[in-house]
Amino acid sequence: MLIVTKVRCEYKENPIGISLVAPRISWQLLSDIRNCIQMAYRIQVSKNADFHTILWDTGTSTSSQSIHVQLTGLHLQPKLRYYYRVKVWDQSGAESAWSSRAFFETGLENPQLWPAQWICAPAVQDMGHSPRMRKFVNIDKAVRSARIYATALGLYELHLNNQRVGDQYFTPGWTSYGKRLQYQSYEVTDMLKKGSNVLGALLGDGWYKGYLGWKNDKAMFGTRTALLLELYIQYEDGTEDQFMSGPGWESSISAIVSSDIYMGEIYDARLEREWTDSDGWIPADIIHYRKDIIVAQENVPVLQQEQLKPIALFQTPQGDTVLDMGQNMVGWLRFAIQGSPGQKVELEHAEILDAEGNFYRDNIRNAAQRIVYTLRGNGLEQFEPHFTFQGFRYVRLTGFSDKIQLDHFIGVVLHSNMERTGHFECSSPLVNQLHHNILWGQKGNFLDVPTDCPQRDERLGWTGDAQMFVRTASYLMNTAPFFTKWLRDLKADQTAEGGVPFFIPNLKESFSSGWGETDHSSAAWGDAATICPWTMYEMYGDTLLLQEQYESMKKWVSYIQEQGDNPYLWNTGFHFGDWLALDSEPGSYVGSTDIAYIATAFYAYSVSLTQKAAVVLGKTEDSEQYRSLHTKIVEAFQNEYVTASGDISIATQTAQVLALRFGLIQGSARERAIQKLEELLHDAGDHLKTGFVGTPYLNPVLSECGNNKLAYKLLFQKDYPSWLYQVTKGATTVWEHWDGIKEDGSFWSADMNSFNHYAYGAIGEWLYRYVAGIGPDENNPGFKVVHIHPHPGPGLEWAEASIKSMYGDIISSWRKTTDHKMTVSISVPANTEGVVILPGAQRTELLEGVIPAEQADGVKRIEAVEQGVRLVLGSGAYHFVYPQSHT
């Protein structure tokens, strides 16, 4: 059996509206034999679903490549659907059937020359209400296909014949609006009818015009919301029509009195009108706004992902009626209500209750997170918001009758539509809850951009948080298209000198003033420019993205090089340091690890990643240049921070961790740093004191450096500060502070105390890569070679993880049995190879199933190594058993 499955175009299943650049195709293989390797493939492309006429054909191409195969030489036409299919041959010559038919569809030929015109509400209507735009379209022929191409300044929601178009939310997404603006494409063939059709759009302020940041700023990108749209129809007789935004469109106010991402939504149902009603419509204004920034949609859309039922409705000691969703979530509440005309109800959202059990929202700061709904009063009414989202677990209800019930409310979870790829489970319920919290932190903060938090007056694409969590995020979900879009905004917002703003998309310059000398480009934050592209390359084998971002990577390291008198140390400027570390003076956010030490360490790391990128991209001269630069930075680092006795001069946990993780010390100095790190941890009662910068690397360094037991001890600590402390306090997402809730039930300062902040969730990478043991190979990226090296430790009897890689499902599961055996079950996808280390195993006692491992089919090589036994495996499922006494 040889089957081609999961055929995708640019990571997506049957995308529409892609750009006219030749796309890349990926697929997976299923085989019932071990050691299955693709030897050749064939791709055909046609305009016909039955492939009657072939436009493009690779023929039999001898290659094992099955991801990111670019359709080079295929000249794409705009607004056209292309069908494609794939077949393969394996090493035995077996030939698969054709894959299931798939398609991609192109969008606009040249968005910059789009003849549609920008329209907006006249000034008399632009008074806070979300405006409505409409046009009547008459159709007198049979429709073969119809598409809408649309974008907006602000947010938009399309309607056609009184039905909502599509399932996307917060379109056109948040980009660097002055430089990039996405348009979306919609299939609307079945929504049209013969005769009169009414095409409409609601507009919202969104990130473009609404509140943004913690300084109560509004309209950072513009002061008027506007719509740009085309309805493109192909008729059965071969003719076509285009209906553009412009003259003939009308505008009116909507029932949305106000809608803001931070503040919430005020809705007056008495103002609802059908799209065909005649009252209140006046000609829309046509405005002149640039189109040269418009690009086809790159991101994965924000969708309604799941629905949660509340678990409790109760009265607080202060007498508030509060709904408990049971989960800190991001999205909104859908509710049903019946009442009298003009009756108002109010919903306020918060993450936590105080120590007395009362509703608490001080940590939300200036973000109102409030829904106000005025009833029309004609029976049962249902409502959910349009252009806002909330981060919450608890909802305070005001104005509702005493008869409200739990089943009147549904929590709607919204986030970017990334495929869930990672699953982890182990014998510890507390660790499983931690993994749950990490996952929900990603759900809540990956809403079109990777935000720091989803609830207070911030919700910004902080670069530091993103790079700290990107590795964990990419185990949990397929983040490639998500980060592709975000990194293009990073490149667009990068300064002329190469500096990287604190958050992407960047805000207006005055917002960031007051930080320091440059107001941007902190070490470990700006390094997202190198760390995130390299992570995408490692996890997904995406060479094209690496190539796209390469100049940005170079600009970043050049920027650092120019910051001081010494081009090999970064000891100038503002830096966030080891943010929120616990080893500094009370009230300090920065941590006690010297900021220049951190800056130089990350400087070296970014140069090393840029050098690796140069190798991948075949840029030999650049590679040698960066290799030399890295050597000089490491030398300068050692001269500056390593004493004559070989000790690191800064005695913090984070200082040791960074030097070890980034390879900045060798030999005896490395051994002394390992010992010092262990000493510092023991001095802290085997607890961490690291902040945002050190925490992601702490447990990986311990496991890599031979102290896996101490890594496990840190994991299993339940008192402050630790990961499980939050879990024992009832957390359902990861907190911003190790002690967001203190032992006595009081809170850390409300100035900055998010309970959904994924940075410390970076421990997730360690769970997958070390506890379960699944890791990529930078020389064979995208898991073309799968590394599996479980690290069992005290406190766990078993652990298992799986990830859906570009090639297929990877599984690693280990278990200590009651008869003192260790069992390790592994699955390696077809067309890949596995390099496995079984800890504590001995070659002579290792079984695969019931036979000696070295005799098992698919085992290519086997050898004894210091850690146990190392095997090279062909694809397939394996079950290894060996005595546990050697672990």
Q: Which residues are catalytic?
A: 458, 736
| Residue 387 contacts residue 204 (beta carbons within 8 Å) | yes
Neighbours of 361 (CB within 10 A): 22
Q: How many residues does the chain have?
A: 887
**Token pair for residue 823?**
């069992």
Q: Residue written as tokens 């010992």?
A: 675
Rg over CA atoms, the chain = 28
Scanning 93-216, the segments in alpha helix (DSSP H) are: 206-209
Distance CA 23, CA 75 (A): 11
Distance CA 201, CA 874 (A): 54
Strand partners, 150: 184, 229
Give which of 852, 850, 885 is closest to 871, Cα–Cα. Answer: 852
CA distances from 433 to 421, 436, 726, 732 (A): 18, 5, 10, 8
| Residue 654 contacts residue 581 (beta carbons within 8 Å) | yes
- Furthest-apart CA atoms within the chain: distance in Å: 88
| Residue 209 contacts residue 226 (beta carbons within 8 Å) | no
| Residue 814 contacts residue 841 (beta carbons within 8 Å) | no
Distance CA 248, CA 176 (A): 31
Q: What is the 3-state secondary structure (H, E, C) of 553-611?
A: HHHHHHHHHCCCCCCCCCCCCCCCCCCCCCCCCCCCCCCCCCHHHHHHHHHHHHHHHHH
Torsional sign, CA 484, 487, 493, 494: negative
Distance CA 251, CA 759 (A): 44
- Containing 668, the helix (H) or strand (E) segment is helix 667-683
From its phi and psi, is residue 573 left (phi > 0), alpha (psi between -120 and 50) or beta? left
**Token pair for residue 467?**
């790079």
CA angle 304, 307, 312 (to 5 degrees): 145
Distance CA 697, CA 691 (A): 11
| Residue 204 contacts residue 130 (beta carbons within 8 Å) | yes
One-letter amino acid at 347 equals L
Distance CA 606, CA 792 (A): 32
One-letter amino acid at 884 equals Q
| Residue 851 contacts residue 865 (beta carbons within 8 Å) | no
Q: What is the 3-state secondary structure (H, E, C) of 615-644?
A: HHCCCHHHHHHHHHHHHHHHHHHHHHHECC
From its phi and psi, is residue 547 left (phi > 0), alpha (psi between -120 and 50) or beta? alpha
> What is the distance in angstroms between the CA of the first residue and the CA of the last residue of the chain?
38
Distance CA 838, CA 834 (A): 12
Residues 6+ apart with CB under 8 A from 253: 121, 125, 127, 129, 130, 131, 132, 271, 280
3-state secondary structure of 221: coil
- Containing 480, the helix (H) or strand (E) segment is helix 480-493
CA distances from 877 to 355, 633, 771 (A): 51, 45, 20
